[in-house]
């Protein structure tokens, strides 16, 4: 059952989720090439950071010759949203030590798919399914980064900017489809209300600040109701 669940998750990731991730990472690979950085740098950044906000922070610092330590701190802050995501999905992955294998793959697309699919699976099949889905997503991100780096001269700046929003848009559509589930609608509304805060704070701390405020508002709203 476990092996079958893993292949099932792998296959399900190769549809719309892989296309959404691929579009975003294609744009990232092209941006790295335009900044004059190498393909190995792009692949290392995608494979190790695996979060577009943190990757863009690192790219900006690397392209301008910034220091490594501040860049690492900024990228960590930009990807701080993965911590509550990991806490939320952890109970669905079982109580045994192998669930720690899922940690490197906590990202928007695998997390959103896991939160929808895992409750309907047998407990023994949940971790294999998630690892299969996450591994396919990670491979799609790596392949798209390499393709974007090679196709950079053929991708206009406007197209790259649009492609960067493909994966967040896919995530937003998943949330909209689940808006009837408890807690989802308040989270969506609170996120919209808190979004201007990300613009106002700016930099690496804008997104975590907006997420903290919006998430707190959604939690308090749901708890009160």
Question: What's the pTM value of the predicted model, to 2 decimals?
Answer: 0.78
User: Are residues 117 and 42 part of one domain?
Assistant: yes
User: Are residues 116 and 150 part of one domain?
Assistant: yes
Per-residue pLDDT tens over the stretch 13-24:
988 888 888 888
User: Are residues 105 and 24 part of one domain?
Assistant: yes
User: Are residues 146 and 69 part of one domain?
Assistant: yes
pLDDT at residue 160, as a whole number: 80
In this prediction, the residues of the chain whose per-residue pLDDT falls under 50 are none
Residues 6+ apart with CB under 8 A from 34: 152
Whether 96 is in a domain gets the answer: yes
Token pair in block for residue 204: 């690496």
Do you know the residue count of the chain?
225
Final residue belonging to a domain, choices 144, 167, 190:
167
How far is 182 from 219, CA to CA, in rounded Å?
11
Task: Give Cα separations from 154 to 21, 40, 90 (angstroms).
Answer: 19, 20, 41
Long-range contacts of residues 214-220, Cβ cutoff 8 Å, at least 24 apart: 214/187, 214/190, 215/84, 215/187, 215/190, 217/186, 217/190, 217/193, 218/183, 218/186, 218/187, 218/189, 218/190, 218/191
pLDDT at residue 66, as a whole number: 67
User: Are residues 105 and 22 part of one domain?
Assistant: yes
How far is 218 from 55, CA to CA, in rounded Å?
28
Token pair in block for residue 159: 């197209």
Final residue belonging to a domain, choices 121, 141, 167:
167
Whether 173 is in a domain gets the answer: no
User: Are residues 162 and 218 part of one domain?
Assistant: no
Whether 65 is in a domain gets the answer: yes
How far is residue 39 CA from its own chain's centroid? 21
Full DSSP string of 83-96: HHHHHHHGGGG-SS
Domain that holds residue 134: 2-167
pLDDT at residue 188, as a whole number: 78
User: Are residues 163 and 85 part of one domain?
Assistant: yes
Per-residue pLDDT tens over the stretch 53-93:
788 888 888 887 766 677 777 677 767 778 888 888 999 98
How far is 121 from 96, CA to CA, in rounded Å?
17
Structurally, the chain folds into a number of domains equal to 2
CB atoms < 10 A from the CB of 198, how many? 19
Whether 172 is in a domain gets the answer: no
């Amino acid at each position: 059952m476990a092996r079958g669940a893993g292949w099932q998750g792998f296959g399900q990731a190769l549809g719309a989720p892989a296309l959404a991730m691929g579009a975003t990472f294609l744009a990232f690979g092209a941006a790295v090439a335009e900044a004059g950085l190498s393909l190995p740098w792009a692949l290392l950044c995608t494979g190790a950071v695996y979060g577009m906000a943190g990757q863009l922070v690192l790219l900006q610092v690397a392209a301008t010759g910034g220091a490594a330590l501040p860049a690492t701190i900024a990228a960590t802050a930009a990807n701080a949203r993965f911590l509550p995501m990991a806490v939320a999905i952890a109970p669905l992955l079982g109580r045994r030590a192998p669930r720690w294998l899922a940690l490197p793959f906590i990202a928007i697309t695998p997390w959103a798919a896991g939160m929808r699919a895992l409750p309907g699976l047998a407990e023994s099949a949940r971790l294999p399914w998630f690892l299969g889905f996450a591994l396919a997503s990670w491979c799609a991100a790596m392949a798209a980064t390499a393709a974007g780096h090679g196709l950079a001269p053929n991708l206009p700046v406007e197209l790259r900017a649009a492609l960067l929003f493909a994966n967040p848009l896919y995530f937003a559509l998943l949330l909209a489809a689940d808006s009837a589930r408890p807690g989802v609608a308040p989270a969506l509304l609170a996120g919209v209300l808190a979004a201007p805060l990300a613009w106002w704070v700016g930099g690496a701390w804008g997104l975590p600040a907006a997420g903290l405020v919006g998430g707190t508002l959604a939690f308090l709203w749901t708890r009160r109701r």
